[in-house]
């Protein structure tokens, strides 16, 4: 994408044993003082393959792995990089998730659904370096040799602990799951209002190339980030109207025009759940 900056692109699929949970992207930047990896993919086997690809390009050690957020498809490879001597960097707000029953339950489900690539030896790896302390909204600068990495705290949005990684000298931005490209976003329990505000922050950075959490790298980030932002805004408008009127969700969903998004990959798998979670969120937010 730029001198020393690379990424690998996951599949537009749901995670499974057949695809080794290769459904998200990861990136890396080779500096004069070591390699910085952004996200660790969805299984230890994938992380081993990524490390092998890095070794084809450089003998420099992997100094840091920056976690954009603690969703399963981005973190189950962390133990491989940790064993290789890397320092894991993540946002302090990830601590609540790592200590939760939900994180352990997700791992147990993945051991079944992603077998044999996620198994009893796969474990959760907490950050060695926590950023966003004491101010969870504070940005952090990581200097590796001559290369500056700016870690922007942009949660709560897709998750409470979202980080994006900007490499100003290269004009490259690793956006994590704030940007989905070529497929429908997974909204889950996101703070969609915060997500929209975060995308507006990223648009202001005017990066030349943006690596999304899912999909191909964007050389037209203004267009692609705006598409994700507009989808989230549309969900909030349509579901918010129904919630305010106390209309049943099924009725609201059926009458909503989804034609702009219905041809996108994973629409059938994700859109109804995205809409339902947004409907519940808008109920809680109120008028």
- The CATH number of whichever domain residue 49 belongs to comes to 3.60.15.10
Tell me the C-alpha distance between 214 and 143, whole Å: 27
Residue 113 lies in a domain: yes
Residue 122 lies in a domain: yes
Residue 19 lies in a domain: yes
pLDDT confidence of residue 94: 97
Nearest to 7 by CA among 128, 170, 144, 154: 170
Residue 247 lies in a domain: no
Helix/strand/coil for 51: helix
- CA dihedral (157, 11, 70, 136) positive or negative: negative
Tell me the C-alpha distance between 88 and 82, whole Å: 7
Q: Total domain count for the chain?
A: 1
Residue 192 lies in a domain: yes
Residue 275 lies in a domain: no
Question: Tokens representing 222?
Answer: 């203004």
pLDDT confidence of residue 230: 95
Question: Tokens representing 107?
Answer: 């791992």
76, 41 Cβ separation under 8 angstroms: yes
- Chunked mean pLDDT (size 10), the chain, 287 residues: 95 94 98 98 98 97 98 98 98 96 97 97 98 94 97 96 97 97 91 96 95 96 94 97 96 97 93 97 89
Helix/strand/coil for 40: coil
173, 184 Cβ separation under 8 angstroms: no
- The whole-model pTM stands at 0.95
Residue 86 lies in a domain: yes
Residue 228 lies in a domain: no
Q: Give buried/exposed letters for 93-125 (b at 16+ CB in 10 A, else e).
A: bbbebbeeeebeebbeebbeebeebbeeebebb
Helix/strand/coil for 91: strand
pLDDT confidence of residue 32: 96
**Residue 148: count of CB within 10 angstroms of its CB:** 15
137, 154 Cβ separation under 8 angstroms: no
Question: Which domain covers residue 9, as residue numbers?
Answer: 5-220
Tell me the C-alpha distance between 267 and 287, whole Å: 28
Please report, to the nearest 10 degrees, the dihedral formed by the alpha carbons of residues 227, 148, 163, 49 taken in order. 90
């Amino acid at each position: 994408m730029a001198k020393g900056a690379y990424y690998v692109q996951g599949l537009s699929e749901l995670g499974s044993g057949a695809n080794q949970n290769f459904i998200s992207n990861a990136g890396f930047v080779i500096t004069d003082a070591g390699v910085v990896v952004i996200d660790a993919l969805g299984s230890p086997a994938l992380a081993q393959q990524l490390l092998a690809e890095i070794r084809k390009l450089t003998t420099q050690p992997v100094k840091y792995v920056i976690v954009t957020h603690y969703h399963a498809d981005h973190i189950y490879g962390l133990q491989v990089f940790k064993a290789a001597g890397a320092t894991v960097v993540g946002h302090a707000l990830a601590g609540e998730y790592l200590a939760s029953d939900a994180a352990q339950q997700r791992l147990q489900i993945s051991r079944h659904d992603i077998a044999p690539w996620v198994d009893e030896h796969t474990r959760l790896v907490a950050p060695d370096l926590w950023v966003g302390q004491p101010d969870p909204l504070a940005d952090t600068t990581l200097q590796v040799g001559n290369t500056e990495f700016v870690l922007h705290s942009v949660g709560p949005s897709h998750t409470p602990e979202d980080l994006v990684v900007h490499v100003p000298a290269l004009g490259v931005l690793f956006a994590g799951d704030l940007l989905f490209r070529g497929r429908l976003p997974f909204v889950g329990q996101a703070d969609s209002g915060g997500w929209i505000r975060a995308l507006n922050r990223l648009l202001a950075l005017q990066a030349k190339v943006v690596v999304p959490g899912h999909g191909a790298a964007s050389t037209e980030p203004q267009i692609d980030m705006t598409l994700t932002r507009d989808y989230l805004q549309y969900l909030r408008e349509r579901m918010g109207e129904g919630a305010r009127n106390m209309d049943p969700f099924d009725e609201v969903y059926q009458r909503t025009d989804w034609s702009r998004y219905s041809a996108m990959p994973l629409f059938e798998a994700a859109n109804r759940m995205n809409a339902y979670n947004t409907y519940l969120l808008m109920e809680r937010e109120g008028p």
